[in-house]
Amino acid sequence: MDKPIRKAVRCYLIKDNKIVVTRYKSGNKKEGYYDIPGGKIEEGEKTEQTAIREMKEETGMYIENPVYKGNMIIEYPNRIFDFNVFVCNECEGEPQEYDENTSEWIEINELLQKEKILSNMMILDSFFIKGLIDNNYNFSMSIKVDEEENILNVKYNLEEK
């Protein structure tokens, strides 16, 4: 069976060991889970434009100069997400609350201790984060998960620029 593939972006807005996250509200199947802002690439849209648009839509914050850092594939039992990953540290505004989610700054170490985090947070772990925050490297990552976000397998490659 071929799994449907969704092309999307995630943008990790990081400053002073803090990161901007969204948290799903009630009514969403991922209620209570923390996520990284991002979403589907629209027709004719460049991935960098998607990162800027999605950050604004999900957090109310405007980012500048997001930097492409790599690719993250997250494979569920019945679907695949193919993420272009960006990192940014330039922003205007503060995280806002919306009907579907709330957004906030949180210490990275505190976030990693949360029970309900999506598998795309794995790149923030000290073993993997170099590919995200070091300007000399890009990364590729493939994560297999079950429907409860339990990680089954990880493949990671760090590439020097």
Q: How far is CA 14 from CA 5, 24, 153, in A?
A: 28, 20, 26
Architecture (CATH level 2) of domain 5-160: Alpha-Beta Complex (3.90)
Ranges of residues in the chain whose predicted pLDDT is under 70: 1
Q: Report pLDDT for 2.
A: 87
What are the domain boundaries of the chain? 5-160
Give the whole-angstrom CA distance, residue 34 versus residue 40.
18
The owner of tokens 């071929």 is: 2
Q: Report pLDDT for 1.
A: 61
Q: Report pLDDT for 89.
A: 94
Burial 48-66 (b: 16+ CB within 10 A, else e): bebbbbbbbebbebebeeb
Burial 127-142 (b: 16+ CB within 10 A, else e): eebebbeeeeebbebe
Q: Report pLDDT for 28.
A: 82
Q: How many residues does the chain have?
A: 161
Residues 47, 84 contacting (CB under 8 angstroms): yes
